[in-house]
Structure 1
């Protein structure tokens, strides 16, 4: 586990150091809510690495960097520095990027079920599962926001229906893009820029894709 943390890119380790320094500085100033947000963000950024280690999966370094940036953008910058209110497109960008990410994760999971055999199921069916997973995660997040607003008096949905529908529309667009990337991977004869994230994950975890060809 320690070795995996040391293997991360300079960007990721710099972001971890920044979060830790922010927590220490906030503690000296007595801003305990900021301390909690910084440490919570730091802990969540470790989650993909911990999960991958438990499942014996190797994650591409760019994936870890992307998830770290996403967690910082959504929690640390979004909540602690109120970027959701200051930057009108912040929430839209995060929903779109998360939909693409979950769509790719869903596609890789389906491919893993068939041990990397591209021809085990119709391409449209494999991509549909990836699309459905990404949209489902987005819908569950909207339910979570609604529950937090109702139970704890928060304002996660902000403008209510318009905010929710806007987020779901962006989720669908992001999920569609991820599905298209999966379809391009299934149809591609050679590696390309668009299919690189999937190609890299398969290359790092060959034992899970024994039928890959």
Structure 2
């Protein structure tokens, strides 16, 4: 017994045009809307950093610096500097200390939605750190390797990735909806469907009108 698979090109073409093409177009539209939403709703982030080093090669000391810049005392002093600048008052920002594993070099990173503000934060953070860290932490022995860098956007939005992440679930969802509607309707929308699928000659259409 042989199994014969016959490809009905006209039918496949109709399915592609009526269902697959519509699903693809709808998914592209949804992905485009999603990318536009991310573009307008996500605020850009700019980071400025200063480079420092621990002079006595005690790399474990750097973790205490990371904790220090998060203390209420440090934030209070930095907020006072920020509040003195009316144009940046109440703006959100973040301060972090970053370093490699067992490295004596570390970076203070200031991030905000404004490039100029981020650079200002980095400079002020450095000044506060140099003047006050030794008062609260023992073993502070650091050198400043650089002043605040020009602020840049370290995490640019990957629009292609976002579009793909939106397109795939949208395609699957619209595909399932199309299949469900096709099965649910149980109607032959194409007058030539019997001829394409079952090779029954198309003889025309008959319209029956009620009295």
Shorter-chain TM-score bucket reads: under 0.3
Per the normalisation by structure 1, the TM-score is 0.23
- Which protein shows a greater Rg? 2
- Which has a greater percent of helix? 1
Greater relative CO (CA pairs within 8 A, separation 6+): 2
Per the normalisation by structure 2, the TM-score is 0.23
- Which has a greater percent of strand? 2
